[in-house]
């Protein structure tokens, strides 16, 4: 298992490097395939030996070899975070046909999080294909976060899709109707439809609760530390993504704790 975890970490870090490309290029309407990676400051093509996930950042001291421009700490952070999620997926659910779908779900949550932080959008290019992939995964191999050694099934995936998308569309509609302001974007609606397609309707409840709780805590801290009061605006996508990941990895434990406390 040690060898498997090491290989999983390496794979996660390599794909994490690609996720950085997606985070930067997708919201700007750029191709994620070409051109090859370039320094965001001087535009110089990054050599292969300077593009080793995690390691190159520290070898270069967090700066471009050619212009000494700062490389954001986010790059190794995303690579490490993706690698740790991949290890967590293998540790929790083992290796099998479900593994690629688990990896894809975790990586999509990371991309959604950082794009939403930067641009306050959740791109359709992630959520719409994600809904389709989620339904396929839940129908065939995706594990039920609330049951041991059980797959979700198409029915649960479809109910989850409708529950996630429907609940958040209702919230968005009511906020627009009553408050005359957009409290929930359509990107959040499609993201939760995707989460439901992968993990079912029970996951929607826990994801919403956990995301709201985490968002409330972070929001209060931001208001206190920055003194912005209620004027502080935070995207909800990252908190929903955190809630979804929490549900995926410890949903069963949370449910058992809640029912038997």
Backbone φ and ψ of 71, nearest 5°: -95, 125
- Which residues make Cβ contacts (< 8 Å) with residue 64, sequence separation at least 6? 39, 41, 42, 44, 70, 71
d(CA 45, CA 65): 11
Spatial contact of 207 and 247, defined as CB atoms under 8 Å apart: yes
For residue range 30-49, list pLDDT tens digits in order: 888 887 888 777 878 888 88
Nearest residue to 191 (alpha-carbon basis) of 170, 216, 168: 168
d(CA 146, CA 247): 9
Q: Across residues 204-231, what is the average pLDDT?
A: 84
Q: Across residues 106-116, what is the average pLDDT?
A: 96
Instruction: Give the model's confidence band at 147: pLDDT under 50 very low, under 70 low, under 90 confident, else very high.
Output: confident
Res 180: pLDDT: 63
pLDDT > 90 in the chain, percent: 60
Q: Across residues 145-173, what is the average pLDDT?
A: 89
Residue 1 gets which letter from DSSP?
-
For residue range 60-83, list pLDDT tens digits in order: 888 888 888 888 899 999 999 999
For residue range 121-142, list pLDDT tens digits in order: 999 999 999 999 999 999 999 9
For residue range 249-259, list pLDDT tens digits in order: 998 888 887 77
For residue range 180-192, list pLDDT tens digits in order: 666 677 899 999 9
Q: Across residues 157-170, what is the average pLDDT?
A: 92
For residue 196, how many other CB atoms are within 10 A of its CB?
Answer: 32
Kindly list the domain boundaries of the chain, sorted by start residue.
1-95, 97-261
Nearest residue to 98 (alpha-carbon basis) of 132, 138, 131, 129: 138
Question: Lowest mean pLDDT: which of 60-64, 120-124, 193-197, 200-204?
Answer: 60-64
Is the model more confident about 233 or about 17? 17
Nearest residue to 22 (alpha-carbon basis) of 113, 135, 86, 84: 113
Res 92: pLDDT: 93
Backbone φ and ψ of 38, nearest 5°: -130, 155
């Amino acid at each position: 298992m040690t060898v498997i975890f090491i290989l999983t970490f390496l794979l996660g870090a390599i794909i994490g490097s690609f996720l950085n490309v997606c985070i930067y290029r997708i919201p700007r309407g750029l191709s994620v395939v070409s051109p090859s990676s370039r320094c965001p400051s001087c535009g110089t093509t990054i050599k292969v030996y300077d593009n080793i996930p995690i390691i190159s950042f520290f070898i270069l001291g967090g700066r471009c070899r050619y212009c000494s421009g700062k490389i954001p700490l986010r790059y190794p952070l995303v690579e490490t975070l993706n690698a740790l999620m991949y290890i967590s997926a293998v540790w929790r659910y083992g290796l099998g046909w479900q593994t690629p779908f688990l990896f894809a779900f975790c990586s999509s949550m990371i991309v959604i999080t950082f794009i939403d932080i930067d641009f306050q959008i959740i791109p359709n290019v992630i959520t719409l294909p994600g809904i389709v992939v989620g339904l396929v995964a839940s129908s065939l191999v995706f594990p039920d976060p609330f049951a041991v050694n059980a797959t979700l099934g198409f029915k649960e995936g479809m109910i989850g899709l409708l529950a996630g998308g429907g609940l958040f569309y209702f919230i968005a509609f009511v906020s627009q109707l009553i408050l005359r302001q957009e409290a929930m974007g359509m990107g959040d609606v499609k993201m939760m439809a995707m989460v439901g397609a992968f993990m079912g309707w029970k996951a929607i409840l826990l994801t919403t609760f956990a995301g709201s709780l985490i968002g409330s805590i972070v929001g209060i801290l931001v208001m206190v530390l920055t003194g912005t009061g209620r004027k502080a605006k935070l995207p909800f996508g990252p908190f929903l993504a955190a809630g979804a990941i929490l549900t995926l990895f410890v949903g069963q434990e949370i449910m058992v704790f809640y029912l038997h406390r």
